[in-house]
Amino acid sequence: MGMAWSSAPIPCTYTKTFGVGVRGLENCGLSCCINALLQSFAATTELQELLNRWQPSEESHDHNVPLELKRALEAMKDNKQDRPHQDFLECLHYNKVCRLMQHDADEVFHTILNLIQKQMSDQQTATAITNLYKIEVEGCCRCSECKNEHCVPNFFLSFPLHLPERTSTLEDCMKMFFECQKLEGSEAFYCGRCEKKTPSVQGYRLVSLPSILCFNLKRVRKTSSYPKKLNLKVSFPETINLSEILPEEHPQLSQSRYRLYAVIVHVGTAMCGHYTAYIYSTDRQWYYIDDSHTSRVSWEAVQETYGGRELFSHTAYMLLYRTLNTEAA
């Protein structure tokens, strides 16, 4: 995905702080991707609680990502600090998320979580942070002849949802993710029981869901010449119940009802663009945050990011939901 344009794509009211727990962040040299992600982290109170309980040890070194993230999220609450994320940006640059370069928001999201796991001295807290987002699945392949099944555990920190080449919904994308594929001919799978390659069926099976459920709408498709961004319409709801969308996948799971609280938005092409964010704040209002610009908006404004319009329209790229099991629906 593309990186930032220095100018705002649409006019907004300029303000550093707007509403409860919402403030803008200055674009420090094409930092819109990280700015948008920081807004989503700031809205994830579960993450902040874990970071606040963490007491960094003396072994925490310079350019420590979890430490600088903890400091940045705390500094964002202080209206007097003009650039509360400056040290975090420099820390990421040292850890090879280079400044003044294009970045993909989902890739940076994974990089930050992986660096937290690697660099945090308290591994129990690091694991708890990973588990906030950890989607456990099994990759299974079943022989069509003897019915022998081979399963391998796997996990995602965000659901990588490929888009069908038509108008669709988040529900459609989820169902497509769990559709089984037939492996035949040259793609046949070797069956240990049959001791030969046999026609097989391959797919994912859901094992467990996290309290923070992140979806990555894979809007970039590689072509023979250059990457192409898909502006296809993908609608998504404010609340979802995965037990209704995928009843066969997890009837035993307790966590299935979620509410949307952050949308990372991309505008532009696959090679160049800009990231912004919509945040559902603690005052139960939606806010649009474009670097330093913030404004209170309606749910209808968030729905404008479904896509399906002109080339340079705002399209949702990452969706973050939190479980409703522990809060009122």
Three-state secondary structure readout of 248-283: CCCCCCCCCEEEEEEEEEEEECCCCEEEEEEEECCC
Q: What are the domain boundaries of the chain?
A: 32-323
Per cent of the chain over pLDDT 70 is: 88
Q: How remote is the C-alpha of 16 from its chain's centroid? A: 24
Which residues have a Cβ under 8 Å from the Cβ of 221 and sit 6 or more positions away? Answer: 227, 228, 229, 230
Angle among Cα 278, 279, 281 to the nearest 5 degrees reads: 155
Q: Which tokens go with 55? A: 């007491």
Lowest mean pLDDT among 117-121, 191-195, 325-329: 325-329
CA 162 to CA 91: how far, in whole Å? 32
How many other CB atoms are there within 10 angstroms of residue 96's CB atom? 8
Handedness of CA 37, 38, 43, 48 (dihedral sign): positive
The H or E element that residue 302 is part of is helix 299-303
**Which residue's structure tokens are 């990421």?**
92
Start-to-end C-alpha separation, the chain: 34
Q: How confident is the model at residue 9 (pLDDT cuts 50, 70, 90)?
A: very low
Average pLDDT over residues 268-286: 92
- What φ, ψ does residue 271 adopt, rounded to 5°? -100, -20
Average pLDDT over residues 50-58: 88
Angle among Cα 183, 189, 251 to the nearest 5 degrees reads: 70
pLDDT value for 213: 97
Please state, rounded to an integer, the average pLDDT across all residues of the chain: 87
Which residues have a Cβ under 8 Å from the Cβ of 58 and sit 6 or more positions away? Answer: none
> Contact at 8 Å (CB) between 72 and 97?
no
The CATH H-level (homologous superfamily) assignment of domain 32-323 is: Cysteine proteinases (3.90.70.10)
Which residues have a Cβ under 8 Å from the Cβ of 123 and sit 6 or more positions away? Answer: none
Between 21 and 174, name the one with better pLDDT.
174
